[in-house]
Amino acid sequence: MSDEKVDIVIVEDDPSDAELIARVFRKHNMVNNIVVLKDGAEALDFFFGSRATDQPKVVLLDLKLPKVNGIEVLQRLKSDERTKNVPVVVLSSSAEDHDIKDAYKYGVNSYVTKPIRFEEFASAVSELRMYWLLLNRPVEGQTPVPAARRS
């Protein structure tokens, strides 16, 4: 069991939302590589195109995306052998979002509401049944706090 770094892939078309999410992670000293994709087409290319890698990742997926919408990206991810085990957390503007229910039908693992709070994200991700690890870099003098359970 190595300390494999997990990439955080944020699929979000609103640049402010994306920036604020990345900021939450940085403020909590997470050192994972963060990738931001701005629409569904970029997402499909990232997961299935020439850039696709086996690098472990967790995906934060906004459902309202231009070009290819979030639900379609989700369907593609969950129906392909290569990507179906990638944990996906849906990004939603409100808990009442009926898109969340649709997303669960397609096998999304969890959701967080925007603006995201680190604790909610950590708890959403810690519910995932897949082995993963989010890395923290400790602030001087502090001992590193695991961002979520290790399996």
- By beta-carbon proximity to other proteins, the closer residue of 27 and 129 is 27
CB of 58 vs other proteins, minimal distance in Å: 22
24-43 positions binding other proteins, by CB under 8 A: 27
Amino acid at 56: P
Amino acid at 9: V
Stretch that binds other proteins, among 12-20, 39-47, 65-73, 135-143 (CB under 8 A): 12-20
Interatomic CA distance for residues 98 and 144, integer angstroms:
38
90-149 positions binding other proteins, by CB under 8 A: 93-94, 114-115
- By beta-carbon proximity to other proteins, the closer residue of 7 and 99 is 99
For 17-86, the DSSP string reads HHHHHHHHHHHTTB-S-EEEE-SHHHHHHHHHSTT-----EEEEEES--SSS-HHHHHHHHHHSTTTTTS
Contact between 17 and other proteins (CB under 8 A)? yes
CB of 18 vs other proteins, minimal distance in Å: 11
56-85 positions binding other proteins, by CB under 8 A: 64
Interatomic CA distance for residues 9 and 20, integer angstroms:
14
76, two tokens = 């593609």
- By beta-carbon proximity to other proteins, the closer residue of 113 and 126 is 113
